[in-house]
Amino acid sequence: MNASALLLLAGVFAAIFTLSVPLGIYMSDVFDGSLSRRHPWMLRAESVFLFPLGKSGREPMEWKEYCASLLVFMGVGAVFAYAVLRLQGILPFNPLARAGLSPDLAFNTAVSFATSTTWQSYAGEQAMSLFSQAACLTVLTFFSSASGVAAAFAFARGLVQNRNPKIGNAWEDIVRCVLWFFLPVAVAVALLFVSQGGVQTLEPMITVRTVEGNLQNMAAGPVASQEAIRLLAVTGGSFFAANSAHPFATPSAFICLVQVILMLLMASGLVFAYGRMAGNVRQGFAILLGMAVLFTVAFLLIAASEGTANPLVTTLGAAPGPGNMEGKEVRFGPMLTSLFAATSAASSAGSAAGSFDSMLPAGGGVSLWLIQVGDVIFGGARSGLYTMLGLAIVAVFVLGMLIGKAPRYLGKKIGAYDMKMVCVALLVPSICTLIGTAVACLVPAGTGAVTAPGPHGFTQMLFAFSSVSSNNGAAFGGLAANTPFYNTALGICMWLGRALTMTALLAVAGNMASKPRQENPNFGLSTDGPVFSFIFIMVAVLVSMVTFFPAQSLGPIVEGIQLFWGFGS
C-alpha cells in the first residue's frame, strides 16, 4: 500500500510543481497589471466592468479601504443569494417547480457561498432550480473566490512593498482574477469534463436505460460549468449531494485525479507567485516544502487507515479485501478516495469523492485535523496564501526567539501589533469551532441532529463546526444539519471565520507595507531554506494540536480505541 500511495502522490506532486511555475508567473503578471499593460485590449476589457466605479476602480487603496470593499462585496453577494434562494419558486429556469428555500436554509446557503465556504445543508439536485445553481451559486463561486485571491495578493504586497501603505485596488484585483484567470481556465476545465462524460445541459432530467432494460430519470443540468469553477477555485459547492462521487460530476478515475491536481494547483501557483513578487522564489518554495511534507504525512496516514479493513467486519469472517470500502466509490477505491479526502481537507476545497463519515477513526481524525490546521497546508483560493503567510510570520517570530535575533520577515521587523493581529486571525476559527461545538453539545437542537451515538456523534458535530469556521465546507455526513439551529449557528461561524480572519491579516498587511524593507542579511533570519520549512511545520502542528487535541480525544481518538481495542464499548 505504501509503495502505491507514494507512487500516486509522486505523480500528483510532479504535475502540480511543473504547472505551478508557469501558473505563478501568469498570476503575478495578472495582478501586478503588467499583463494588461502589455496588451491594451485587456485593459479596455477591465475598464468595461470598472467604469461604474470611476476613479475608485483603479486607485490603490490602504488596507482599511481595501478590507471594507471586500466586506461590502461579500455582504452584497450574500443579500443577492438570499433573495434568489427565497424567491426561487417564481424565478425562471425552474422546470421542476422547486420551491423557495426556508429562511434559515437560505441564510446559511447565502453566507456559505458569499464567503466561499460552500457548505451545503441541502441536496443540490433536489432543492435547487437550474437558475439558482447556474446564475446564483456558480456565479457567486467565481466572485467570492476571486475576493479571496485578491486578499491574498494584497497581503503579499503588504509584505514586499517598501514604505508604501497602498496594497492595491480591491475592485481591480477581483475583475482581473475573474476575467484573466478563473473564467478562461474554468471554460477549458469544463470542456475537459464534458469530453470525458460529464454533463452540461439545460435539461433538468436525463432518461437512461438501465442494464436491466428499465427506463430511469436522473437529475442533470449545467453540471460541468459548476464543477469546473468549484474545483479550480478550491470550493466544495457541487451540483449534486454526492459531490465528486456522482458519475455526472466525476465520470472517471482520470477526472478524479484531475480534480485532485486542480485543488492543489491553486495553492502551489499562489505560493510561487508570492515568491516572484518578493524577488526571491525560494521564499515561496520554503513554504511549499513545508506544506508538501505535512500533506504527505497526512495522506499516508489516511491511506493506511482506509487500506485496513474494519475489524467489526473481519471478525465476522469476511475477507479484508482492498480495505475499508464502506462509503467509497468503487471506481476510485480506498487509495484514490484517501488522496481526494486529504486534498479536499488540506486545501479547504470541501469536496468529497467518498464519505468522511464512513472512514475509520484514524482516517476521519486526520482529515478533521487537516481542516483544523486552517488553510495552511495547500490552502486554496479563499484564504490560503494569506493564512500561510500569517503562520510564516509566527514561525519567524518563534525562530527569532530561539536564536536571539530580532524577528524580521522579508527585511521587515515584526512588531507587537503584527503578532497580535496574526494571533487574532489564527484563533478566530478555533474559537468559533470550539464554542459552536460546545453549544451544540448542550442544547437538544444540537444533539438531536446527531445520527450516531458516542464519540462518532461528537465527531459529526466537531467536524461541521471545524469545517465552516475554517471556510472549508466539507461535510462529515450523518449530521442532519438542515435545521434552524445548525443553519443559523454554522452561518454565523462561516461569516466570523472569514470576515474577522481576513480583516486581521489585512491589518497586518497594511502595517507591514508602511515599514522600510532592509535587505541586509545581518538584520534578519533566513526564511528561504529548509530550516525555516521545518519551523513552519512545527508551528503548524503545535498550534493546531494544542488547540484541538482535547476535542479530538473525545471523538476520533476514543472511537479508534474502542474499535481496535474494545475499551469502553
- Euclidean distance between CA atoms 512 and 499, whole angstroms: 20
pLDDT surpassing 90 at residue 275: no
Question: What pLDDT digit, counting tens, does each position of 376-420 carry?
Answer: 677 655 556 677 777 778 888 887 777 777 788 878 888 889 889
Whether the CB-CB separation of 24 and 270 falls below 8 Å is answered with yes
**Amino acid, res. 380:** G
- Which stretches of 139-270 are assigned E, i.e. beta strand? 205-209, 215-219
pLDDT of residue 533: 78
pLDDT tens for 541-552 read: 888 888 899 999
Domain boundaries, the chain: 2-207+217-565
Residue 347 has pLDDT above 80, yes or no: yes
pLDDT in tens, 490-529: 999 999 999 999 999 899 999 999 988 776 555 456 777 7
Dihedral pair phi/psi, residue 249, rounded to 5°: -90, -40
CB neighbours of 474 closer than 8 A, spacing ≥ 6? 236, 344, 345, 349, 350, 351, 352, 356, 367, 371, 463, 467
pLDDT in tens, 290-328: 888 888 998 999 999 998 888 888 887 777 778 888 888
Confidence of residue 119 (pLDDT cuts 50, 70, 90): very high
CB 233 within 8 A of CB 141: yes
C-alpha cell at position 216: 430511469
Over pLDDT 90: what percentage of the chain?
44
Check if the beta carbon of residue 424 is closer than 8 Å to that of residue 502.
no
Query: What letters, b where the CB count within 10 A reaches 16 and e where it falls short, cover 18-33?
Result: ebbeebbebbbbbbbb
Distance CA 364, CA 306 (A): 9
Give 80-113 pLDDT, tens digit per residue: 999 999 999 999 999 999 999 999 999 999 999 9
| Cβ atoms within 10 Å of 140's Cβ, excluding its own | 26
To which H or E segment does residue 408 belong?
A: strand 408-409
Give backbone dihedrals phi and psi of 415, rounded to 5 degrees, phi first. Answer: -100, 180
| Dihedral angle of Cα 278, 279, 284, 286, to the nearest 10 degrees | -110
Rounded Cα gap, residues 314 and 327, in angstroms: 17
Q: What angle do CA 555, 473, 338 make, to 5 degrees?
A: 65
Cell numbers standing for residue 205: 432530467
Tracing cell 498587511 back to the chain, one arrives at 509
Cα gap 181→262, rounded to integer Å: 13
Alpha helices by DSSP H, 475-529:
484-513
- pLDDT, tens digit (0-9, with 9 covering 90-100), for 180-216: 999 999 999 999 999 998 999 988 888 888 878 888 8
**What stretches of 210-314 adopt beta strand conformation (E)?**
215-219
